[in-house]
Chain A
Amino acid sequence: MSEVREKAEAAKGKPAKYGPDLNLEEYSCDTPEYEACELEDVEVVDPERLLNAGVDVSGEERSGSFIQVDSSVIHAAPTQEGVEVMATRKALEKYDWLDEYLWKLVAVDADKYTASAELNFQDGYFVRAMPGAKTVFPVQACLYLKSENVSQNVHNIIIAEEDSELHIITGCATDSPESRGLHIGISEFYIKKNAKITFSMIHNWAPQVAVRPRSAIRIEEGGLFLNNYICLHPVESLQLFPSAFLVGSGATARFNSVLLAPEGTKMDVGSKAVLSAPETRCEMIARSLTTGGEIINRGLLIGEVEGVKAHLECRGMILKGGGRIYAIPELDGRVEGVDMSHEAAVGKIARDEVEYLMARGLSEDEAVATIVRGFMHVDIEGLPPILKEQIDRAVELSEQSLL
C-alpha cells in the first residue's frame, strides 16, 4: 500500500477542525455510469440549473469545458490552444510528473474528507495553461450531483505555467432542489512565475447537500490568484477554508466571497494566506447575508517576512428572519515590518440608508433591495467581463428570491 493510501486509511475517521462532523457512511459511493459525449449532446444534466451556477452547455465563450456527473466524467475538452482540460485520472496516466502535484499542497490525512477523496477517488479535473498561454474566455468546470444520497469524491489539479493566464469558472449543482448528497472536492492550484489564475466558484446546491471542498494554492514569484466564491442557495452544511501559500516575491492572492444563508443553512467559510516571501500581498473580502441561516466567516493572515501587506474585510448583514453571523478575523504577524489589518462589521439594514433612498423617491421595498444589492456587489479588480456577468447573474437570481 502506498504511503498516501496508508495515511488516508489512518485518517478516515478523523473529524475536521471546523464545521459539523458528518457521518460518511450515510452516503453511497456506488453510482451509475454515465457515458461520455460531446458538449452539445449532454443530456443527463439540467442545463438551467447549470447555467445558474455559471456553466453554459452551449460552450460559447469558453476556452474549454469539463462536466462530471456523480463519478462519471462525461465531457472534458479544451477549445483553445495552449490549454489542457482533462479528467484527473487520464492526466495521471498521461503525465508521470503529475504525481509531484498530487497531495502536495493539501494533506491527505488532514481529515476524514481528504482521506475519503483518496480512498474513494472518483476523478475530477486537470486544467493546465501552457507557458505563456493566455486564455481570453474561461474554462468551465461542472461537478454535478445526480443520484440520490451519493458521495462525490473528486480531486482537481490546476496548473498555470510561467507567464500564463487562466480563468476558470466552476459551477457545482444538484439535479434537483430535493436531492440529498455529499460533495468532497480536493483542489490543488500551482501558479508558476508571473502566471495568473482567476477562479470563480458558484455553488448551486440543495438544502440536503453537505459540501466539503479542500483547496490549497501555491503562488510563485509575481503570480496572482484571484478567487471568487459565490454561494447564494440553501445548503445543509458547507465548510471550506482554502489556504494560499505565497512563496515567491511579489505574489498576490485575493479572496472574495458572497454568501447568503437561508433558514436551515449552515456555512463555515473562510480562507487562510501564508505570506512567506517579500512584497507578497493578500486581500480577503467577505459579504455575508443571512435570512435565518448560520454563517461563520473565518479569515487568517500569517505574515512571515518583513514588507508583506494584507487586509481582511468581513461584512455581515442579518435580514428579516434572523440567523447568525459569526466573524472570526485573525492576524498572525511573526516578524517586525509586516502590514496587516482587518475590519469586520455585522449589522442590519441601516434605517438612515433606507430613508435616504426613499427621500429620492424609491419605495421602502425598492430602497431595501437597492441596499442589499449594493451590499452583495463586490467590485472585483481584474475579473474578465464574462466572469463578472456570471457572478452578477447569480447575485441577481438570488435577489429575486430574497426580496
Chain B
Amino acid sequence: MLDIEDLTVSVEGRVLLKNISLNIEEGETRMLFGENGSGKTSLLMAIMGLGNYTVESGRITFKGEDITHLPADERARRGIGIMFQRPPTIRGLKVSDMLELIRRDGRDPEEVARELNFSQFMDRDLNLGFSGGEIKRAELLQLLTQDPDLVLLDEPESGVDLVNIGVIGNAIRDLLQKDLHRQRKKSGLIITHSGYILDYVEADKGCVLVNQTIWCTGNPHEILEGIRQHGYEGCLTCQR
C-alpha cells in the first residue's frame, strides 16, 4: 500500500527526517512511537504532502505509484487521509457542508455523526471553539465520510477524556475495518505517545522514530513496554 524508500526531508535547509524506509501493507495497522521532536508529525505531513517540506532524496510510493511530488489534494484523491492534531478553524464553513464537499464512498455523515455523539455540532463552523475531544471526533467524522484507504492519525487519543476514548477507538476501528479480518483493505499509520490507543485498536506492527529516522520495527506491545521501562534512550542501545 505505502512504500517509503530512503526518504530524507528538510524544512528551510534543516533536515527533519533522515533515510526513512517504511512499508505498510494493505490491511496493516502500524503504530509509530517516538519522543517529542523526533519527527513523527513531520513524517505524516511528508506522506500527505503538506507544509513546506522539501524531499531531499528518496521516494514515496502509494499503490505502486510514485507520489513523492504530488500535491496534497492529489494524494487525498488517491486514497490517503490524515487526522490533524491541531486543525485550523474554517469560519463560515459548517461541519455538514464540509462533509458534503469531501464525501467520497464513505458512510452517511448523519449516521456517523450520531455514532460519534456529534450530531449537535453539524451546524457549527468547522473546529470553531471545539474542545480537544470534539476536534478528534470532527476529524474522524471527516475521515469516515472521506473513506481513505490509508489513514494517518496523529495522536488520536491526546486530549480525550475517558468517556470519549471508547467512542474514538471504535471510530478508528471502523475506519480501519478491524471487524473484517481477512477482507480488510484499509491501512493505518498511527502516532501514539501514551499507547492508550492500543487498548482499543489492535496494531500489526510498531516502529520507533529516534533521531529523525526509523530505529526499529516489531511487536507494538513489546516496543511500548520497552519504552516504558527504558525510555527512548533504551532504543538506541537495543539490539533488536
**Residues of A with Cβ closer than 8 Å to B?**
315, 350, 352-353, 355-364, 366-367, 370-371, 373-379
Contacts and interface: CB of A to CB of B under 8 A. Distances in A.
Nearest to B152: A359
Contacts of B82: 359
B232 to A, nearest CB: 29
Interface in B11-38: none
A315 B51 CA distance: 25
Contact of B93 (A355, A358, A364, A370): A370
A357 B125 CA distance: 14
Interface string B84-121: 10011011110000100110100000000000000000
Interface of B: 48, 50-51, 71-73, 76-77, 81-82, 84, 87-88, 90-93, 98, 101-102, 104, 125, 142, 146
Given A370-B93, A377-B92, A361 B104 contact: yes
A358 B88 contact: no
Given A370-B90, A374-B91, A374-B93, A361 B73 contact: yes
Contact of A360 (B91, B92, B102, B125): B102
5 contacts: A359-B72, A359-B81, A359-B82, A366-B101, A370-B101
A353 B77 CA distance: 18
A399 to B, nearest CB: 12
B146 A361 contact: yes
B92 A355 contact: no
Given A315-B91, A360-B81, A364-B71, 9 more contacts: A356-B87, A356-B90, A358-B76, A359-B76, A361-B73, A363-B73, A374-B90, A374-B92, A375-B91
Q: Which 9 A-B pairs have the closest CB atoms?
A: A374-B92, A377-B92, A361-B76, A374-B93, A358-B72, A358-B73, A360-B102, A353-B88, A352-B88
B73 A362 contact: yes
A353 B90 contact: yes
A360 B142 contact: yes
B171 to A, nearest CB: 17
Contacts of A366: 101
A349 to B, nearest CB: 11
Q: Which of B73, B90, B102, B104 has the most C-beta atoms of chain A within 10 angstroms of its own C-beta? A: B73
Secondary structure call for the A interface: helix
A353 B90 CA distance: 7
A355 B51 contact: yes
B88 A373 contact: no
Contacts of B90: 353, 356-357, 370-371, 374
Given A353-B88, A374-B93, A375-B91, A358 B102 contact: no
A403 to B, nearest CB: 15
A164 B102 CA distance: 44
Nearest to A362: B73
Contacts of B51: 355
Given A359-B76, A359-B82, A360-B101, A376 B92 contact: yes
Contacts of A360: 76, 81, 98, 101-102, 142, 146
A355 B91 contact: no
A359 B50 contact: yes
B88 A362 contact: no
Q: Which of A359, A363, A374 has the most C-beta atoms of chain B within 10 angstroms of its own C-beta? A: A359
A361 B92 contact: no
Contacts of A370: 90, 93, 101
Q: Which of B71, B72, B84, B98 has the most C-beta atoms of chain A within 10 angstroms of its own C-beta? A: B72
Contacts of A375: 91-92
A360 B142 CA distance: 8
A315 B48 CA distance: 31
B92 A356 contact: no
Contact of B92 (A352, A358, A373): A373
A353 B73 CA distance: 13
A259 to B, nearest CB: 15
Contacts of A359: 48, 50, 72-73, 76, 81-82, 84
Contacts of A371: 90, 93
Contacts of B92: 373-379
Nearest to A376: B92
Contacts of A361: 73, 76-77, 102, 104, 146
Contacts of B98: 360
Contacts of A352: 88
